[in-house]
A and B are shown apart, each in its own frame.
Chain A
Amino acid sequence: MISFKLEEEQEIARDALRDFAAEAMRPIARECDETSAIPEEFLAQSWELGLVSTQIPEAYGGGGEARSPVTNAIVLEELAWGDAALALAAVAPAGFAYAIADQGTEAQKQKYLPMFCGEDYCAASLAVNEPTVCFDPLTPRTVAEPKSDGFVLSGTKCCVPMGDRASHFLVVARNNGSLDAFVVPRDAEGLSVSDNELNLGLKALPTATLELERVEVSAADRLGGEEGCDVQRVLDGSRTALAAVMVGLSRAALEYAVPYAKDRVAFDQAIAQKQGIAFKLADMHIETESTRWLVWKAAAQLEQGVSATRAAHFARGYAADQSMWITDQGVQVLGGHGFIRDNPVEMWFRNARTVGVLEGTVCI
């Protein structure tokens, strides 16, 4: 049987993160967007919640709780409801840490996982995206040439979250016919990190371009060591997480538009009473819920350890389309008030457009 009933701890996590999003994220979201900056206090405050460390094994200093992509999807939806850029900043290190925890060698786990279990926010990121037309993460142009004791990496990565401060990057590259991921420290010779990219949305989230010019890494820096890793699995987790972020964005727009439409009177009637608006609001609600179920299905498959590739792709593709449509309708329902910056819907619209293209196009 399929049950959509949350576990008690998932309900408590949802409620706690909902309060956190409303009280610690919403009030600063606009200023973060305007100034393209994230306060250090916010990163410290979100780090205290244990968003990353809780699901790292105790042996490496973590909370030792089982990995739960479903709980993480619930948590991410709430954080993204607060603000998508801040949410992605808070959890970006998990992209790196969970890949190591799931597929790293024992030495890699011992070396890197304790970094994420300390008291201070620790930035490290996945580097997947590339600045090419219709980028497909499974056929990157970044290549890893094997050499006697390691690899030489060459290529360009973009939209790397927390690129301004990440101490390590997990770079996805083509190694002959297969795909691999490599840990590259920020100070690696041949690696240059750009200034923050100027983006349409998620403006508070610092993203950077990485230029890898014959960066030498050792064989021990290949994720999974000699056996390599399943990059698809990393992408499935990451895509599901991005889709959960888009559910939060969609819900934010929906929950803003509904009371506005009930309150806003035009031609002697609340605009929510007008069929054209009522249908929009109903469809926004239906699509938000539909996206959430796709996300939860992908998350459940990740949690069960079965292949989640198809489900994650469906969730992300659908979420990208629908969150753009829903946030666009959010702007539309508010009319003239929708595109002025006094209201947040225009920011959510830009954010949805941006989250939708992270980690490659959904067009192929």
Chain B
Amino acid sequence: MDIIVCMKRVPDSAARIQIGGDGRSIDSAGLEHIISPYDEMALERALQIKEEQGGTVTVVCLGAAEAAKEIRQALAMGADQALHIKSDVGYRDPLTTARILADHLKGRTFDMLLFGKQSIDADNSAIGVMVATLLDLPAVSLVTKLDAADGKATVEREAEAGAEVIEVALPAVFTAQRGLAEPRYPSIKGIMQAKKKPIEEAQAPEEAALITLEALEPPPARTGGRIVGEGVEAVPELVRLLRSEAKVL
């Protein structure tokens, strides 16, 4: 089973995000980065399948030169090789991103192409299915279970009060939802071996943007809470405020 996993380098979920001086990017000074967690879950499941059945796992990353570290981390977890499509563009619309990935994936043979359901920075939830469409492959998003044998995959996705079980002919595209697999810690041996594994490099083309990012703004600072009363008597007022002021009911 040959599996390709697309992964993105994103700011650490625990990092404090600051807006850069240009007002439309994130200030990367001192910012720690990680593999986007859903991509890491997809990678973990790919590695498990490789360990069960043999085959290869290739990671593909479209991102800055600095993403080499996260690519090495994926190799340290057990991926066999990587393709790093280098790009300095901070923000790129999903369709352009999907086209670049699809262009590089076209012509490669694989049984499965995995993505996280979304990256945790842009949160578009779009790339996996867009790439599948561009490559004319079947796709199932948000999978929580993935098994493959005899040229087909059986996947599960969460549905209301149950699970959908779907069978798909391979090759196919899947996006990982939480629950698919718990990523392993890279072993020291894996980390040391990773530096000997091949990373193929390519340059992302400069394309006219379909969407431009005009500005980034931090969310408004949280203000202090308000005590509206005590005991049962306070409930009607609380409900009124939740409905009329907070607009959450």
Contacts and interface: CB of A to CB of B under 8 A. Distances in A.
Interface of A: 8-9, 11-13, 15-17, 19-20, 24, 48-51, 53-54, 63, 65, 71, 75
Interface in B24-68: 68
B185 A54 contact: no
7 contacts: A8-B72, A9-B72, A12-B69, A12-B186, A13-B191, A16-B186, A20-B185
B189 interface: yes
A8 B195 contact: yes
B144 interface: no
Contact of B187 (A8, A11, A49, A71): A49
A317 B36 CA distance: 42
A48 B77 CA distance: 12
Q: Which of A19, A48, A49, A51 has the most CB of B within 10 A?
A: A49
Which of B69, B186, B188, B190 has the most A CB atoms < 10 Å from its CB? Answer: B188
B73 interface: yes
A16 B76 contact: yes
B181 interface: no
A51 B187 CA distance: 8
B192 interface: yes
B120 to A, nearest CB: 16
B14 to A, nearest CB: 10
Contacts of B191: 9, 12-13, 16
User: Can you list the 3 inter-chain pairs with the closest CB atoms, starting with the nearest?
Assistant: A50-B189, A63-B189, A54-B189
B73 A49 contact: no
A16 B188 CA distance: 9
A42 to B, nearest CB: 13
Interface in B64-110: 68-69, 72-73, 76
A53 B189 contact: yes
A50 B188 contact: yes
B194 interface: yes
Contacts of A71: 188
A9 B195 contact: yes
B66 to A, nearest CB: 11
Given A9-B192, A20-B185, A54-B192, 10 more contacts: A8-B68, A9-B191, A12-B73, A13-B191, A48-B187, A49-B185, A50-B188, A51-B188, A53-B189, A63-B193
Contacts of B194: 9, 12
A143 to B, nearest CB: 38
Contacts, number: 54
Interface class of chain A by DSSP: helix
Nearest to A13: B191
Contact of B188 (A11, A19, A24, A49): A49
B70 to A, nearest CB: 9
A80 B191 CA distance: 20
A51 B191 CA distance: 11
Given A8-B195, A9-B192, A12-B194, A50 B72 contact: no
Among A12, A16, A19, A63, residue most surrounded by chain B Cβ atoms (within 10 Å)? A12
A20 B186 CA distance: 10
A20 B152 CA distance: 35
A55 to B, nearest CB: 8
A4 to B, nearest CB: 16
Interface in B133-190: 185-190
A243 B190 CA distance: 26
Contacts of B72: 8-9, 12
Contacts of B192: 9, 54, 63, 65
Contacts of B195: 8-9
A55 B188 CA distance: 9
A49 B76 CA distance: 11
A11 B185 contact: no
Given A13-B191, A54-B192, A65-B192, A8 B69 contact: yes
Contacts of A63: 188-189, 192-193
B10 to A, nearest CB: 14
A43 B73 CA distance: 23
A25 to B, nearest CB: 11
B187 A50 contact: yes
A98 to B, nearest CB: 14
Nearest to B70: A12
B64 to A, nearest CB: 15
A65 B187 CA distance: 13
Contacts of A16: 73, 76, 185-186, 191
Nearest to B68: A8
A302 B91 CA distance: 46
A337 B68 CA distance: 43
Contacts of B187: 48-50, 54
A71 B68 CA distance: 20
Contacts of A12: 69, 72-73, 76, 186, 191, 194
Nearest to A10: B191
A8 B187 CA distance: 15
A51 to B, nearest CB: 6
Contacts of A53: 189
Contacts of A17: 185
Contacts of A50: 187-190
A171 to B, nearest CB: 28
A11 B69 contact: yes
Contacts of B188: 13, 49-51, 54, 63, 65, 71, 75
